[in-house]
Amino acid sequence: MVSTFVDSAQLHAKAGNGGAGCVSFRREAHVAKGGPDGGDGGRGGDVWLQADHNQASLLGFRDHPYRRATDGQHGTSKRQHGSRGKDVVVSVPVGTTVFNAEGELLIDLKGSGDRWLAAEGGLGGQGNARFLSNQRRAPAFAEQGELGEESWFNLELKLQADVALIGFPNVGKSTLISRVSAARPKIADYPFTTLVPNLGVVRVGARPARPNDATEFVMADIPGLIEGAAQGRGLGHDFLRHVERARVLCVLLDLSAMAPCSPEEQLSVLLGELGDYQASLLERPRVIVGSKVDVAAYELEGIETVSAVTGEGLDQLVGHLAALVSHARHDEADALEHDVVVHRPVPDEITVRRHGANAWKVEGRGARRAVRFQDLTDDQALAEIIHRLRELGVDRLLTRAGVRDGDVVSIGTLSFEWWRDEVGTGLDRGEHHRATRRERLARHGRLDQGDVDGES
């Protein structure tokens, strides 16, 4: 039997690459000196995650984790811009949490409609028409398109149920949920029959004359917990995370002679595991219920008792749970008025770090964007790079970091030799040093087309 419920999966998100800008000049009859007319490249498509209440699990990612947006088109002559790549919106269940490869929590999509930008498309390169100025009448360079972001993510689903059934394996949780709802979980007379959570909708107080007076709540049958679950024994963490968002906890204790230990010991173990996993769970409203009362071998005072087989005590239990759920919902009235939230990553900061004895690396998307030109042997392209890096404050950051004359500085795949004199710093040593500058750049890295896009 193939499970249709998956609560953890991986996602590989690849945004589209930006299209390259075009280098083109007007070539028309009777136009002696046609100006630049190269169009911009289109931006690559984004990959978004969106919480959707119509999605029940992460099954769609188990065998097909890859999601890719389309690339932007290249610019062409006559100032024609390339079209933008199409975004991809990936639907995930409400309650999906997203982690990076290092296990850091990135976002919790806990509200229907919440969106998160998983991979941002690369910017399109500017065509040479964008670089026309009074000082630059015939720019013969354009920008390369930026590479789209690409990352692996770990997805985990935390069910959002009103009531979570908690108990040892084979305590009767699946039978109970099958009697009070339309859920039909697998039921058998051996431990760990339930390997994935089951959800059922319970309807209480419905009358033919006034059907709208009924109270509905979602009950989750959490697979059996064992001692050590909070430390990951068995599938403890996989099961316990589905309890985190339940409004009410229903703790079932086996009263039959087949129970692994006394009801008091069962209760002690279960509450201990909940507290070890997340202390706040012990403050959650809960109901202690004795199960299998029809074949009881133990007695425990002060608790409700039920038999899922005969139906004894089920109506009273469901009514009690409905009252607790209604009270919890009333307390959360403000939270239930959910506004759709759009989450976007914080822009990268530009940082400088030592990369060797006499080498430095400048990191940050803004810095990589500043050097993404197709032809870095062009003096005008180099001048534009200098202008951009200075506006970003890269020269000041390098000075503060302690860079010295002769050190090699890398930005993406571009490397250059750092220097300082009375005229300036970095690449620009004045008009009489342009040839030396090109030789220095060429000596430290490949500068042909496509080598300065940056890193995704």
| Ordered mean pLDDT values, 10 residues apiece, the chain (456 residues) | 66 96 85 84 96 82 92 94 96 90 88 90 93 87 92 89 87 86 53 59 65 71 65 54 86 90 91 87 92 89 89 91 87 59 70 88 88 81 87 88 88 80 49 45 37 36
pLDDT at 116: 94
Determine the distance from the C-alpha atom of residue 247 to the mean position of all C-alpha atoms in its chain, rounded to a whole number: 25
Which pLDDT does position 211 carry in this prediction? Answer: 47
Residue 35: what pLDDT? Answer: 86
**From-to residues of CATH 3.30.300.350 in the chain:** 351-444
Residue 132 · residue 36 · CB < 8 Å: yes
Place of tokens 């009697």: 179
Q: What is the pLDDT of residue 252?
A: 92
Which superfamily does 351-444 belong to? Answer: GTP-binding protein OBG, C-terminal domain (3.30.300.350)
Show the tokens assigned to 52: 């959707």
Q: Are strands 105-109 and 286-291 parallel, antiparallel or unpaired?
A: unpaired
- pLDDT for residue 238: 61
b (16+ CB within 10 A) / e for 370-387 = bbbbbbbebebbbbbbbe
Question: What is the spatial distance between Cα 392 and Cα 367, in angstroms, rounded to a whole number?
Answer: 8
What was the pLDDT predicted at 167? 87
How confident is the model at residue 431, as a pLDDT? 40
Query: Exposed (0-12), middle (13-18) or buried (19+): which is 182, by Cβ within 10 Å?
Result: exposed
Q: 365 near 411, Cβ under 8 Å?
A: no
HSE-CB at 80 with a 13 A cutoff on CA atoms is 6
Q: What is the pLDDT of residue 196?
A: 62
Q: Where, residue-wise, is CATH 2.70.210.12 in the chain?
A: 1-157
User: Within 13 Å, how many C-alpha atoms sit on residue 90's CB side?
Assistant: 31
CATH class assigned to 1-157? mainly beta
Pure H helices in 332-431: 333-336, 365-370, 379-392, 394-401
Q: Which CATH number fits domain 163-336: 3.40.50.300, 3.30.1490.190, 3.40.430.10, 3.40.640.10?
A: 3.40.50.300
